[in-house]
Amino acid sequence: MDMNDMLKNKRQLFWLLQLAGWSGWAMSFYLGVIMWGSPPERYYFYLPLIATIGMLLTLALRALYRHMWEMELTRRIVVIVAGSYAAGLVWMATRATLFHQLYPEARKAAERHGMELLSYFDGAVSAFWVMLVWSALYFGIKNYMLAQEEKERVLKALSMAHEVKLKMLRYQLNPHFLFNTLNAISTLILDKNNALANVMVTRLSRFLRYTLDNDPMQKVTVANEVEALRLYLDIEKVRFDERLQLHFEVQDEVLEALMPSLLLQPLVENSIKYAIAHAVNGGYISVKAYQEGQRLCLQVADDGPGLAPGSKAAEGNEGVGIANCRERIQEIYGEQQAFELSTTDPHGLTINIGIPLEFGSRDS
């Protein structure tokens, strides 16, 4: 069982610390007796017995402290000191009674030398300090565990908020895409081009199934992302036909690299909206994925108006797609990501993304 599991099982941790603490006290007490002389007979019975009694008294202190937990600090300190003192007196009185019953000759020797009262006083002070240290440790450990629980609750709340935000960003499908696709299907049906309409419906259903089947909190391989992108572009090819020219350039080395699912689709959709849909002769869209050091580099470029003066991009209106993508990778990778917009030569928009290169499980 690791430390986190142990912290969650408070009862088990309490008893483990109790046994360890009182065993440590008994061992140190025994070593002290050895240093000052040889222990009397049957000490193996006496020492565990008084340690057990001390542990039982701390259970009473624990019940007291749990009852007064909500008290103000000053009153709590008074109760802790008074409780520790009372427990120390009871413990010392019990120890003295047991010691005198088991070793009557030691009591007689102490009485002859007039040391019995002094010995009891020293023992009572020592017992008080043991109980006070136990109390301090109890409050210290309990406050630490409460702080850890509060920290865990805060982290869980932040994680849930982070997850909700990522899912919200991931599921923000551009309604224009669905509207345009359904409108194109409707037009094909009116033109009695049922075969092509059926193909478009099939491709749309495959793409939507992919978006629903993939958890936005998981990452997919570059190969899967490109496949999903092709599903989307198959639909758009029906709408634009030869006006939409596509170019894919994906290095074999990064096919199994991991990336957020459907990260590129909103960027390609943005290019179609601004570079293809409004151009009489259409245009091209280029998608690249390659490795650069320990980074996975992704690029989407088009030959539309890009960042030219007066364009919508230049006016600061990035659209849902680019803003969504920028925010998603910021949420996932923080300062380890890069997202840059630049001009395609001779004209157009190029979007470059850099994220940490990672391979392995997709359930990250």
Closest CA to 167 of 229, 218, 222: 218
d(CA 27, CA 47): 9
d(CA 282, CA 295): 33
d(CA 238, CA 200): 7
Q: Domain-by-domain residue ranges, the chain? A: 3-167, 172-356
* CATH 3.30.565.10, domain 172-356, yes or no: yes
Structure tokens at 53: 């009694």
Contact criterion met (CB below 8 Å) for 218 and 210: no
Question: Residues 145-182: pLDDT tens digits?
Answer: 888 888 877 777 566 555 655 555 555 555 667 777 88
Q: Does an H or E element contain 284, and which?
A: strand 283-292
d(CA 43, CA 21): 19
> For every one of its 364 residues, what pLDDT tens digit does the chain have, with 9 covering 90 and above?
455 555 557 788 888 888 988 888 888 888 877 777 676 676 777 788 888 999 999 999 999 988 888 788 888 889 899 999 899 889 888 888 887 777 666 555 555 544 444 455 566 788 889 899 999 998 888 888 888 888 877 777 566 555 655 555 555 555 667 777 888 888 888 888 888 888 888 888 888 887 777 666 678 899 988 988 888 888 888 778 788 888 999 999 999 999 988 888 888 888 888 888 777 787 889 999 999 999 999 999 998 887 655 444 444 445 667 887 888 888 888 888 999 999 888 888 999 999 999 987 654 4
One-letter identity of residue 343: T
